[in-house]
Amino acid sequence: MEDIMKAETVVQEKITKETNSTNINPAQVPEQNPEILHGDEIEVKTEVKPASKITRFSHWRYVSKPRLFIFLFSVVLSTTCTILRAFVPKCSAIYWSLLGINFLIDIVAIYLHNKLLMKSIAKKEENVLTGSKNNTFSTPSMTVKYSIIGFLSGAIAAVMGIGGGIIATPLMLSMGIPPSVTRMASSTMIAFTSFSSMIQYMVLGQIDLQEVWIFMLFVGILFPIGFYASAPVIRIVRSTSVINVIMAAGVLVSGIFVAIQGVKIIIKMVDTHVIDGFVNICK
């Protein structure tokens, strides 16, 4: 009899629990993590963003407009100072003042560009190609390193007669600077020096149109070839380093031709006892 009563009590308790579970106020139920479904099964919900269409000019939407404006504005001001120096007496007060203003413009442009780049990194903008959160000029040693690169590039380019951007590429790579940063810096140097030199020579009337058309034809043919052939080449070799190898090979070939030309000039100076190029800049 006692067993029957215990069994009825157990059944009654089960019925009471089931009734209470069905009448629970939703407000009293604690919030559950929606990611936890049954037992130990966890569903990780990830937001899938629609992939944007990538074209060969997609990178333009990631270009920082303030930094681009500063670059173009500084190029215009620097080129203007260079042109004005050609119309004033050499070594005069105005000449040296314009030269000093030219240097000041470049220094201010670099400073503003660095500040905007730090701001971009802080906001994690997508146009920062390095993906690094460290400031490039955070230490004096890095500032000195970049200054040395710029000085050596300019000196070697002046001696060899080739663009400073081409010289800067192997120097920056050998000093451990990432290829993406190297490529951007080299392209910027080439654009700046080429544009400034072209404007200056046009104003002074010192452009040899016969040679200009030859170079323009070369660039017009080789640029689209390199533009469209670079992607397949990178896919075949599965590395972007091949671009740096090609650039290094181009620099090597150019250096060989310049060295041969230099030997010819040295032989000529020995025969004529006249050293070309060493003249008084104030005359």
- Can you give the pLDDT at residue 6? 55
Give the contacts of 6 (CB within 8 A, at least 6 positions apart).
Answer: none
The answer to whether residues 187 and 195 touch, using CB atoms and an 8 Å cutoff, is no
The single-letter DSSP state of residue 60 is G
| Cα–Cα distance for residue pair 248/184, rounded to 1 Å | 16
Single pTM value for the model:
0.45
For 107-151, the pLDDT digits (tens) are 788 778 767 766 766 665 444 444 444 455 556 676 677 667 666
Kindly report the average pLDDT of the chain as a whole number: 69
The answer to whether residues 276 and 265 touch, using CB atoms and an 8 Å cutoff, is yes
Backbone φ, ψ for residue 42 (5° rounding) = -125, 130
For 175-230, the pLDDT digits (tens) are 666 676 677 777 777 777 777 777 777 777 777 777 778 878 887 888 888 778 87
Give the contacts of 74 (CB within 8 A, at least 6 positions apart).
Answer: 105, 106, 108, 109
